Amino acid sequence: MPEDIRTANITHWAERVDLAAAFRWTARMNMHEAVANHFSLAINEDGTRFLMNPNQMHFARIRASDLIEVDANDPDTLEKPGAPDPTAWGLHGGLHRHCPHARCAMHVHSIHATVLACLADSTLPPIDQNCATFFNRYVIDDGYGGLAFEDEGERCAQLFTDPKQKVMIMGNHGVMVIGDTVADTFNRLYYFERAAETYIRALQTGRPLRVLSDDVAEKTARELEDYPGQAERHMAELKAILDAEGSDYAA
């Protein structure tokens, strides 16, 4: 899509377009929390400069040109014009400072992932292929300490110690998903919410669960990690739908 005069000098345009598409689809799938959730994408080598959504802007309206650029190492960030939401700064600033492998981060209070986070036991057993995707690949935060201002954000960020674990089930809160790109991270966010929904609905039947063995679950997770191009094709198709609808996400 050609850039107009207003957007021609904005850097990281392709990344902005992908991130804007992810915001639009998160809203469409009702995985958002009005104006309260946030995504970020690192744009320098060490991950400390990143793009994120503007303060209190609804996901369904965010365009590529609306995204703000933030420096995780700038202590005066919240004092500047166009400052991000304080909890977004606390959570994502801490994450990008401590986890350089977290190039992209998506935090939502999606319904089924949050229900899972509210259970005394927030583990996700491998009862189907989607659930098996995340076998041994998430961490559970059971130390919720209130809104994710800087201290809470720093605490959460330090739970991502194993690079294989790219989902944090945030007890009493929601979910944080990290990845290498927007496509990779959004694909993981989508399938984690689907997996959580399957598990919650299975629990609602009150009947015994058919749980895969650890060996089969791990094999399935590895096979899906190596599955070629799925995340990229998923994102490309979502953008194609938005383009066909005349959406302004890429403006």
Q: Is the pTM of this model over 0.95?
A: no
Sheet holding 38-42, edge to edge: 68-71, 49-52, 38-42, 104-108, 174-179, 167-170, 138-141
Percent of the chain with pLDDT over 70: 96
CA distance 116 to 232: 28
Top-confidence residue, 47 or 138: 138
Query: For 33-82, what is each residue's pLDDT tens digit?
Result: 989 999 999 999 998 899 999 999 999 999 999 999 999 888 888 888 77
Confidence bin at 7 (pLDDT 50/70/90): low
Taking 50 as the threshold, does the pLDDT of residue 160 lie above it? Answer: yes
Helix (H) or strand (E) holding 185: helix 182-204
Top-confidence residue, 232 or 147: 232
Map out the domains of the chain as residue ranges. Answer: 13-245
Taking 60 as the threshold, does the pLDDT of residue 3 lie above it? Answer: no
Helix (H, G, I), strand (E, B) or coil at 64: helix
CA geometry: angle 196, 185, 237, nearest 5 deg: 95
CATH topology of domain 13-245: L-fuculose-1-phosphate Aldolase (3.40.225)
At 107 the pLDDT is 96
